[in-house]
Amino acid sequence: MIGGIASGLTEVHGFLDSEDCLATLTAMRAMGVAVDTSPEGALRVHGVGLGGLKPPPGPLDMGNAGTAMRLFTGLLAGQSFDSVLVGDSSLMNRPMERVARPLRMMGADIGTEAGKPPVRIQGGRALEGIDYALEVPSAQVKSAILLAGLYATGRTTVTEPAVTRDHTERMLRAFDVDVDSREGRITLLPGQPRGARVDVPGDFSSAAFFLVAGALAEAGPLSIRNVGINPTRTGLLDALRLMGAKIQVETRRSAGAEPVADLLVHPSRLRGIRLPESLVPLAIDELPVLFVAAALAEGETVVTGAAELRVKESDRVGAMAEGLQALGADAETLPDGMRIRGGELHGGTVRSRGDHRVAMSFAVAASRARDPVTIRDTANVATSFPGFEETARRAGLRLTTIE
């Protein structure tokens, strides 16, 4: 997205051909951004500049990508043309007003249907920078405001109630945009991004399933290489260590603006914890697989402050509790989290509710269940982790796809 509105050429190395990423790529091409593949397998994005995007021929389909829809809402708020954002049945039921409200304060004209998609953005509005305090920690809302800030007059500042992932700020700096971050306040001065080389590290959220699987394994260790260890993303690593997991961080290095390392996970005896709420925003996408670790740990685990899980691709609190209960776990839902008393899991059938992270979490749970586990409605795994089955089998999980 940033490469598309930059001046000059951007090369992206390590691009993931997941459905979410491809939906973003397709949308940028629909607005006139040329993207091709280099002989080395990198994406070459020919930037059109801040004012160079063209009206798309129809609604932009985000598929299952909630991040893409919210970030595009910010990017498109300052364009000269009208646009409409749609998605699959799951995405069309996700809340969008938390993004729309601050953008309207900047002068954008954004409409939703009862707070949900389609998101309709009227172009030609003059945006002004704002000083906005996030109501709840949200990297997606923050990022949407910052992208809109590129088109605003004056500075745009976002204040966070708790630390959230900072990939957008790091990326903007890599494209020579003036962004300052300190003490929970992020300030952007509008300016033309310049094309850059981007090296994408391995996704921590994808590695998370294997961190838990390795900690629960009977033999090991398991090595996971080239993982992004941005400190705003690694809450699961801290949580697992609090539970007693033995995880070594080796060969620290950088991939452009992002820190990277190899992770060595040893079989561990996990114990229940009360998860510090300060870690929740740093592990929000990894909490489903943390619930699996808790179900197989000794003692009780309590997670609170995670109401955001209720409005992801599914109600992840409800989906995980229902599935864990079906496998014999003692799991109790809370309004903003879950209470789990660890023990053993037996086999059974669970519904993933079409949620990729729920499906992959139960694949990890199945690795320690006494009997086979059948996971229903798993097609959306490809939205974030194409090739998950092959990678899981290579790590020792015994998975079979039922057509």
Instruction: Please enumerate in sequence order all residues whose Cβ is within 8 A of that of 400, keeping only pairs 6 or more positions apart, or say none.
Output: none
**Over the chain, what is the mean pLDDT?**
95
Residue 127, pLDDT score = 98
Residue with tokens 């969008």: 96
pLDDT above 80 (res 39): no
DSSP single-letter state for residue 274: B
The torsion angles phi and psi of 350, rounded to 5 degrees, stand at -125, 150
> How far, in Å, CA of 42 to CA of 142, rounded?
28
Task: For residue 356, give the DSSP letter.
Answer: H
Cβ contact 62:19 at 8 Å: no
For residue 220, the Cα-to-chain-centroid distance in whole angstroms is: 28
Catalytic residues: 285
Q: What is the pLDDT of residue 209?
A: 98
Q: Indicate the SS3 state at residue 129.
A: coil
Residue 251 binned pLDDT confidence (cut-offs 50, 70, 90)? very high
pLDDT digits (tens, 9 = 90+) for 79-107: 999 999 999 999 999 999 999 999 999 99
Q: What percent of the chain has pLDDT over 90?
A: 91
Domains and CATH numbers, the chain: 7-199 (3.65.10.10), 204-394 (3.65.10.10)
**Which of 49, 55, 56, 1 is CA-nearest to residue 24?**
1
- For residue 115, the one-letter residue type is G
Are 70 and 140 a contacting pair, CB within 8 Å? yes
With contact defined as beta carbons under 8 Å apart, do 360 and 370 qualify? no
pLDDT at 403 over 70: no
Q: What confidence tens digit (pLDDT) does each residue in 108-136 have?
A: 999 999 999 999 999 999 999 999 999 98
User: 150-171, pLDDT tens digit by residue?
Assistant: 999 999 999 999 889 999 999 9
- What are the residues whose beta carbons fall under 8 Å from the beta carbon of 113, sequence distance 6 or more? none
Say what the pLDDT of residue 400 is: 87
Mean pLDDT of 43-57: 98
pLDDT value at residue 50: 98
Tens-digit pLDDT profile for residues 304-344: 999 999 988 889 999 999 999 999 999 999 999 999 999 99
Question: What is the reported pLDDT for 260?
Answer: 97
